[in-house]
Amino acid sequence: MPERELTIYVAGKATADDLRAVLNDDRLRWAYASRMEDTGLGWLCDLLDGRPLGAPANDDRPGVSLDHWAEGRAFGPDLEVDWWREGQTYRLRALLEEGLHPANVTWNARQGEALNAIGGERCILLYGTLDGKTLRERPTWSEARVPRHLAHPYVPGDDKPLPGRMTLLCQDYGCDGLAVLTRLIAVVPAEKG
């Protein structure tokens, strides 16, 4: 079986509009973002629309606009885009095995030793308490963390209305058998991971 190689693209000095355009790529579905006051894991559309990231629709937490997050990762099965605020601009990184990087900014391929997939996809268990009791309430898991609370979404399973736990599906990459980078793929019920 041929090795699956990760391609890494970087871009600097991206504006908030550039970041929003890159995050509108159809291959991205989920987002993890953090700032000094908050951390969230949820649907990318909530992040782009300024809704509470990972929180239920009836939550009283205010939404946060994209430009107020210090850093984040948007991801889907085929692509991850990471960003870091640097003053008034952003540094971006795109991770993918196949296909093209997102449009709308000037990307440079990162030079250096190639990173290859190590093993298959793996799951990272997310802990927390289920906040909603019914599907109509758009249930959410939440975890008290120091120094920030982490909310993450409920994702319905095919055969169970409320899964026991949620996981982050990810893929490790490295060289010489040593993992140096993990790409996020999806948020899935633990039973499916």
pLDDT digits (tens, 9 = 90+) for 75-121: 999 999 999 999 999 999 999 999 999 998 999 988 777 899 999 99
Last residue of a domain, one of 64, 98, 114: 114
pLDDT of 84 reads: 97
Please report which residue ranges of 40-98 form alpha helices under DSSP H. Answer: 44-49
In this structure, the answer to whether residues 162 and 85 fall within a common structural domain is no
Average pLDDT, the chain: 82
On whether the CB atoms of residues 137 and 177 are closer than 8 A, the answer is no
Residue 140's domain comprises: 118-189
Domain boundary among 114, 137, 169: 114
Distance CA 174, CA 89 (A): 29
The reply to whether 108 and 171 lie within a common domain is: no
* pLDDT for the residue numbered 176: 83
At residue 48, the pLDDT reads 94
**Is pLDDT at 58 greater than 60 in this prediction?**
no
pLDDT of residue 37: 79
Q: How far is 171 from 182, CA to CA, in rounded Å? A: 6
Looking at the fold, whether 55 and 127 belong to one and the same domain comes out as no
* pLDDT tens-digit series, residues 135-173: 445 556 666 655 555 666 655 554 545 556 778 899 999
Q: Please, are residues 3 and 117 in contact by the beta-carbon 8 Å criterion?
A: yes
CB 79 within 8 A of CB 92: no
pTM score of the predicted model:
0.84
Q: What percent of the chain has pLDDT over 70?
A: 73
Both 60 and 110 in one domain: the answer is: yes
Going by their DSSP bridges, the two strands 38-43 and 129-130 should be labelled as unpaired
Tokens matching residue 184: 């996020």
177 and 125 in a common domain: yes
pLDDT at 193: 45
Note whether 58 and 78 are same-domain residues.
Answer: yes
Instruction: Count how many domains the chain has.
Output: 2
Same domain, 95 and 19: yes
169 and 80 together in one domain = no
User: Average of pLDDT values for 2-20?
Assistant: 92
Terminal-to-terminal C-alpha distance of the chain: 23
